[in-house]
Structure formats: C-alpha cells, structure tokens
Structure 1
C-alpha cells in the first residue's frame, strides 16, 4: 500500500485488532456469530498483511496469487453460506475485493506493485467497490448511533452475558473493516 507510512501502520493496527476481536467472537455460544466471525477474522488479518507499508516489506511475487487463492476460497464459502442469509453477500463482496486487489498486485510491474491501475484514472471495478464500501461504511455508522428506544431498552434490560456476543461490537468491527477497505482501494 502506498501513501503515508503512519497511515498505513494505523490501518495495519486497526485491521489486526479487528481480526483478533473476530477470533474471540469465534468462541461465542451463538452459532451464527461463530460462522460470521471466522470470515471476518480472515478479512481483518488479510487486510492487515496487505496494508503493511511497501517501504517496510514487499511480498514476493508468488505471494499475490496465493493471497488471491485464499480469498477466492473465502468468496466461495461466502457464496455458499449466502443461501442462509443475505448478510453473507457482504462477505462475498469483501472477499472478492481482496481477490481483485491481490490480482491487481500480481499483474502489475514490480516497480509499480502498488499502483496497479497506472495513471489512467480509477478503473471501473475499483470505482464500483469504492462506491459499495463507502455506502456500507455510511450505513454501518448510522446503525451504530443509538436511538432513544434502544437506549432506554438497554438501560433497563439485561446485558448480554459475554462481551463477544454484543452486536454493537460486531457492527463496529465491520465498520472498521469497511473503512479499511475504502482506504486500501483508494491507495491502489
């Protein structure tokens, strides 16, 4: 990823922390929570690795096709699980975006490994992904804003037994990964 090194490190930390939290969510008693958390942990750690500044570490050329294969497998899994709920479609789009970025890095010349689209403007696929993830970030942010009814219910109702099962923390994780995806797409 190109851009300011400090911003890249912040993205690495954000994505790695999100991946770590998602690993903790995999211990949830709620089966759906565990299923979603595995794919989200893969995304978080994968984004963290991809966001490491090029000045610090440039992966070998063979790593990008491996990366694309791992996320293609994640996309196939998300497609399979999308049969049970449409929220898995977001995982499909996210995994597909990671495949797209890995392929772009694999086919770009070594000297321009982090400028896959060259100087011809934003490629249509990148633009479509940017629109999707920007909309996702905005919608996720709005969903995190507590409403008066939810706040009063939360004040009087019982709290979830485990912090890993709290839906607002899972939403915040997805929001941070969406922000990370927008950042990475802009840096391509």
Structure 2
C-alpha cells in the first residue's frame, strides 16, 4: 500500500508541475519542467515490484534520461541554490536507477531494506541532505502572522493556483519526502 501511495504522491506532484509549466516563462519554465520530470520519474520508479518488475534496460534508460537532465541543469546552473537542488535531485535519480540496473536480474526488490545495493556513503549523504531539505521546506510552510494591507487586508486579488508559491513549495516538499522514502528503501 505504501508503494502505491508513493506513486500517487509523485504523480500528483508531477501533474501539478505540468500545470504550473503553462504559466511559467524563461528560467522558471526549465525549473518547473525539471520538477515535473522528477515527479513522473519517481512515480515510475516507485511502482511496486509485485505489479511490475521492469527489465534492466528500463533502469539504464532512466540513468540516461536523468543523466541528460542533470547535464542540462548543470549547463544552465548559475549558482542558484534551487538549481543546485535540482542537479542533486537528478544525480540522486541517476544513482538510484544505476543501483537498480546493477541489481541481480529481476531484483526490483533492491527497493527493500537490507538488500545491500548501492554505496552506503552516497546513500547516507543523500539521506542527510533530503532529511534537512524536508525539514527546511516544511518549516517554510509554517504560518506567519498576516499583516493588514492598505484596506485592512481586503481588496487584494488572490493569486491564481498556479502562481501560489506555497503550493510550489508543497510540491517540492512532497517530492523531497518521496525521495527520502525511496533512498531509505535503496
């Protein structure tokens, strides 16, 4: 059941990012597109092994796709913290897909605890990073006291749902939690 919840969470985050992509322009568009790719890629990777055990070439395909996305992110990264987060996310996807590609044949079960796949140091560093990211993003969602606007807080237009920064942060937080869960099972 938890595998399907992870698939649903990642697919929902990817779908929301696709909807945000319509209203995005310039560098923001590339960032939102990367988030959509991450959401759908994580959803596909999280499908429970009892339902679908992909052949090795699928995992190699994931490695190629996310390595290309990481290269694209690296080439346009101008030192922005958010772009560096995207780069690390793409590299984490390459790492997880590579671990699955190198797992014994038919072992989508490498997504089970104690499988011994992957390098423990890299997994540990990624776990620490994503645990910190989830705490940081979650703390940014805490409510702050509202200040009254020029008309007592009324008369201001509400932003469209695609333009609301807290929804984008919830999407990123959801994917951070999902990445943390996937790394824990690696």
Partner residue, 1:146: 143
Partner residue, 1:130: 127
In the alignment, is the contact (CA less than 8 A) between 2:11 and 2:40 conserved in 1?
yes
3-state SS of paired residue (2:109): coil
Partner residue, 2:98: 103
The CA distance in 2 between the partners of 1:98 and 1:25, in whole Å, is 22
- The TM-score normalised by the length of structure 2 is 0.89
User: How much does 1:187 deviate?
Assistant: 1.1
Q: Deviations over 1:38-65 (max 9, x none)?
A: 0000000000000000000011111111
In 2 relative to 1, CA 71–29 (structure 1 residues): closer, same or farther, beyond 3 Å? Answer: closer
The CA distance in 1 between the partners of 2:85 and 2:77, in whole Å, is 9
Partner residue, 2:173: 175
In 2 relative to 1, CA 58–80 (structure 1 residues): closer, same or farther, beyond 3 Å? Answer: same
Q: Deviations over 1:18-57 (max 9, x none)?
A: 0000000001155443221100000000000000000000
Partner residue, 1:8: 3
In the alignment, is the contact (CA less than 8 A) between 2:99 and 2:117 conserved in 1?
no
User: How much does 1:121 deviate?
Assistant: 9.7
The CA distance in 2 between the partners of 1:30 and 1:145, in whole Å, is 28
The CA distance in 2 between the partners of 1:27 and 1:48, in whole Å, is 21
Quick one: which of 55, 77, 88 aligns to 1:93?
88
3-state SS of paired residue (1:87): helix
- The TM-score normalised by the length of structure 1 is 0.88
Q: Unpaired runs of 5+ in structure 1? A: 1-5
Question: Where in structure 1 do 4 or more consecutive aligned residues deviate above 4 Å?
Answer: 119-122
3-state SS of paired residue (2:78): coil
Structure 1 segment 37-52 matched on structure 2, within 5 A: 37-52=32-47
3-state SS of paired residue (1:115): helix
In 2 relative to 1, CA 186–31 (structure 1 residues): closer, same or farther, beyond 3 Å? Answer: same
Paired residues in the alignment total 181
In the alignment, is the contact (CA less than 8 A) between 1:68 and 1:98 conserved in 2?
yes
Mapped pair 1:115 → 2:113: no
The CA distance in 1 between the partners of 2:157 and 2:178, in whole Å, is 30
